[in-house]
Amino acid sequence: MKLLSVNASTIKEIPYKGKTVTSGIFKEPVAGRVMVRRLNIDGDDQADRRVHGGFDMAVYAYPFEHYAYWRNELGRETFPYGQFGENLTVAGLCEDSVRVGDIFRVSEALLQVTQPRIPCYKLAIRMEQGPDFPARFQQSGRMGFYFRVLEEGEIGAGDPIELAESDEGSVTIAEFIRVYLHDSHDPPSLRRVLASRDLGEAWRVYLEKMLDNAETVMRPSGWEGFRTLLVDHKVPESETITSLYLTPQDGKPLPPYLPGQYLTFRLAIPGQSRPVTRTYTLSDSPNHPDYYRVSIKREPAPADRPDLPPGLSSNYLHDQVELGTGLCVKAPQGKFTLDPNDETPVVLVSGGVGLTPMISMLNTIVETGSRRPTWFIHGTRNGREHAMGRHVRRMAAENDNVHVHIAYSQPRPEDVEGRDYDSQGRVNIELLKRVLTPAAYDFYLCGPTPFMKSLYNGLLAWGIPETRVYYEFFGPASALKEGAGRPGERAVMAATALANNEHAEVSFARSGLTAKWDASFESILDFAEAQGLRPDFSCRMGICHTCMCRLIDGEVEYVIEPVDMPDPGCVLICCAQPKTQVVVVDV
């Protein structure tokens, strides 16, 4: 194993599609010996350390063995060292033999392998190729890898590279790439990568999130695809909310679920050319294997657009679904869940129909005999819209660890304070401060946008750590976080975030597919993959532009701000969510 060349570059400004971008990708061989530092090599500049730089991506290495492949693939006679933006051109170290965590001695320096390189659009500029080149580079598996610098020292072309330590329990870089590209929804594969020695922190966080997503979808798996559940009976909970009790048509037991999870319905609504997909939260505890219950609010036309039709699926379920009707339903899933075995004091805060997951959580706490201190705080307009009020009062009366506070914003004359509600006004941070006794609570929030935004930011300003605030939100996460007291993200969104909005849709024009947006997905790319589509992608962080496609109609908002904005009329679907009710992308 040998170091063939050390390469460096200053930052250059490059004209690209009518704008100027900066890059340090134009590496050239350096004569003599060079000092390797913790964050880079002397004489080399890094334009954006989110892409290349920092402790875990200090030095990029590329195997010389791949040069011949790319000369043949691109019809070139030769490439100079540094052509692929690498700091180190190496021989004898390829992705299928190098493992994450491997430590190599190069003269005075000690280097440790951390992760594969994820190409960005600037590589296409460097290679004088079209915008699809990063995807081709990635699919080839010839991506190179990064080193962290454990010991600084001088290195130079011709130095031998010696393996100092290796762990057979770590994945090779080739295995890492395969999991990232093809098995990112397979928990065993993700766990294998995560078990690798000294994995880079950014990748560890990303892969843990992918594992959590994969396990959430699988836990409990229940059944594959859709299963027919029959409407056993319907119970009006208020003038606007009705519960449907669902039993299995095949008579087989229903699998358990976690309190707070949801069901996905495929509804054959008369007059619609294709089935309509909707999600609704389970509103009872998992301790009833003979039925599932969902509680659905009848959605009128939007208050600011009375010319629009009322909610399609909610009115269908209220008015047209009869006892005995078979509904096509997927198994329970979702990440906004309560751990039934946790005994941490908990505050369940909801507004309107946002009470449905909270009822599931409350019922679970009570039915399992938990002594967990629990506050159920709910806000609604008045008794006409208040669902399950008597049930919640009974839970509190029969269990001294359960406390309830109900706020009506517009009580009717027949609504009695102290019986139907406890205070007039809205649920806000001032109410929580007044009602709650001192304790280290976990907070679970669910409700519409103004309600959620006020409470989320109020809790942070009150000093509640973000790690103790969980939410299910009727809207995009960025709207919730505007004005938040601290950076960071710990709260979890679930697919019912837009379940009762019923107006946001994403259309994939080239594929001829239209689907209702599901807020459990963090990006349009994730959502597209869930529909069976396979758009090109690479970084999933708004960096590489591999996922860029035309935005035919509608508007999006970015949950991660792109390093470079996409071309006019285009969108980076890896970090974008719908902003308008209809979004059409060229996928």
**Tokens 């019986």 belong to which residue?**
419
**What is the layout of strands, in order, in the sheet containing 226-236?**
276-281, 262-267, 326-330, 226-236, 241-248, 292-297
The answer to whether 326 and 223 are in contact (CB under 8 A) is no
| Helix, strand, coil tally for the chain in percent (to 5) | 25, 30, 50
Evaluate the CA torsion angle 18, 20, 25, 30 in order and state its sign.
Answer: positive
This prediction's pTM: 0.52
**Tokens 């024009």 belong to which residue?**
509
For β-strands 442-447 and 346-351, DSSP reports them as parallel
The answer to whether 452 and 531 are in contact (CB under 8 A) is no
Cis peptide before 220 (omega within 30 of 0): yes
For the record, the structure tokens of 348 come out as 């369940």
For the record, the structure tokens of 41 come out as 């090599």
Nearest Cα neighbor of 294 from 232, 220, 228 is: 232
Q: Where are the beta strands (DSSP E) in 429-527?
A: 442-447, 469-473, 505-508, 513-516
What are the pLDDT tens digits along the chain (587 aa)?
999 999 999 888 888 777 787 888 899 999 999 999 988 899 988 766 655 677 888 999 999 999 999 999 999 989 999 999 999 999 999 999 999 999 999 999 999 999 998 887 788 888 988 877 887 888 888 999 999 999 999 999 999 999 999 988 899 999 999 888 777 777 888 888 998 888 888 888 888 878 877 666 544 557 777 899 999 999 999 999 999 999 999 888 899 999 998 888 888 888 876 677 677 899 999 999 999 999 999 988 766 667 667 778 889 999 999 999 999 998 887 778 998 888 999 999 999 889 999 999 999 999 999 999 999 999 999 999 999 999 999 999 999 999 999 999 999 999 999 999 999 999 999 999 999 988 889 999 998 878 888 899 999 889 888 888 888 754 444 445 554 433 333 333 333 333 333 467 899 988 888 888 887 777 898 888 888 787 877 667 676 677 888 898 888 988 876 756 787 788 999 889 998 887 889 88
Looking at residue 280, the DSSP 8-state letter turns out to be: E
The answer to whether 487 and 457 are in contact (CB under 8 A) is no
Whole-number Cα distances in Å, 388 to 36, 355, 362, 383, 391:
66, 9, 12, 10, 5
> What domains does the chain contain, in order, with CATH numbers?
2-215 (2.40.33.20), 225-499 (3.40.50.80), 505-585 (3.10.20.30)
**Tokens 């001032």 belong to which residue?**
430
Nearest Cα neighbor of 61 from 36, 32, 31, 33 is: 36
Distance CA 254, CA 518 (A): 24
Half-sphere exposure of 503 (CA within 13 A, CB side): 16
Torsion of CA 348, 353, 356, 359, to 10 degrees: 50
